[in-house]
Amino acid sequence: MGENNMAVKKIKLSPEQKRKMLLVLRVLLLTAAVLYLLFLFYNNYFLDDKIKVYFSTENANYLKSEKRTINQESDLYFQIFDELKSGPESSGLTATIPAGSQLLDYQIEDKMIILNFNQAFRDNHWGGSTGELLTIYSIVNSYTSLEEIQTVRILIEGKEVESLVGHLDLTQPLMYNQKLTEGS
């Protein structure tokens, strides 16, 4: 019987209880605001473990960078390519790396990074001067954003190539391309 009574009993809040509820809500709101600020702060001020990865604008005229947090535990240079491969987060950008592409290994000499890709990187590429430019320079600009890298060489299956798909000269190390970079 008692239990039954309890169940049907309407809950009426006294002004005192209401005040308490409001206080709790306020505290929650404040906590949320503080967390949000912390999040903003974290994103803006701890750029040390952030890298820039470049993607193509949708109109294929420029490259634009997005920031990614790196995992300190795994290899930075592989992570950059993984981020390039997984594509942009914002809607106005387009990925530049063909499906099945793999960075097999890399080597750093002085300030040059030599990136060795698999055959699929070339075979699955959509071609075109614009396509090739944006693919190659999205990689070059991403790696040369790192302080320790000034130039990038690209190899396919360990071999030097004239170009990826018949336009861009890959026999020479490539430098950061400012002209292709939007908003910097």
Partner 1 sequence: MSVPRKFGIRILLLILSIFILSSTAAAQNTIYFNSKDITSEIETVSREGELLIKARDLAELLDADLTWRPALKSLEMKSQNVTIKIMANSRYIQIGNDALKTRAGLQLVDNQAYIPLAKSIEAFGYLLEYQRDNEELYIFQPETTINNVSWQEDGNQLQIKMDEITPYRILHSEDGREITIEIDKAVIDQEFSDNISNNNYYLRVVNVPDRALLRLIIKSRTPIPFQIDGGVYEYEDSLVLSFLPQLKDIRIDKNNILKVEATGEIPDAKTKYISESKKMIIDIPSVVIGNFDLDIENHPLIKDIKVTQHDLDPVILRIEATMVNGDIFKPLKREKNSLLAFKPGQRSEITNLDYAAGSFSFDSSSALNPELFLLETPPRLVMNLYHVNRGAGILDKIEVNNSLIKNLRTARFDEQTVRIVADLKELTGYDWVEEEKNGIYHYTVNLKNKFAEIRTEDNDKYQYLDILMDSRAEYEVKKFNYPHRIVVDFKNTLNNLDEFKTIEKTSLIKDIRSSNYQLEGEEVTRLVFELNDYYSHRVETYQDKHGIKIALAKDYLNKQMKEDREIESHLIVVDAGHGGFDPGAIGMTGLEEKVSNLAIAREIASQLADKDQTVLLTRNSDRFHSLQQRVKFANARNADLFVSIHANSFNNPQTGGVETYYNQHENNQNRFLAEKIHDKLGRGLGIYDRGIKESNFYVIKYTKMPSALIEVAFVSNPGEEKMLQSSKFQKKAASLITEGILDYLEENGGK
**Where do contacts with partner 1 occur on this chain (CB under 8 A)?**
56, 58-61, 94-96, 98, 126-131, 133-134, 162-163, 165-169, 171-172, 174, 179
CB neighbour class for 61 (10 Å; exposed up to 12, middle 13-18, buried from 19): exposed
CA nearest neighbour of 120 among 139, 142, 143, 97 = 97
- Closer residue to partner 1 (CB): 75 or 162: 162
Rounded CA separation 161/174 (Å): 13
- Which residue carries 């430019």 as its tokens? 133
Q: State in angstroms the smallest separation of the CB of 173 from partner 1.
A: 11
- Closer residue to partner 1 (CB): 112 or 168: 168
Q: State in angstroms the smallest separation of the CB of 181 from partner 1.
A: 13
Q: State in angstroms the smallest separation of the CB of 165 from partner 1.
A: 8
- 59 contacts: CB under 8 Å, gap ≥ 6: none
Q: State in angstroms the smallest separation of the CB of 45 from partner 1.
A: 22
- Closer residue to partner 1 (CB): 70 or 168: 168
Instruction: Phi first, then psi: give them for residue 170, nearest 5 degrees.
Output: -105, 10
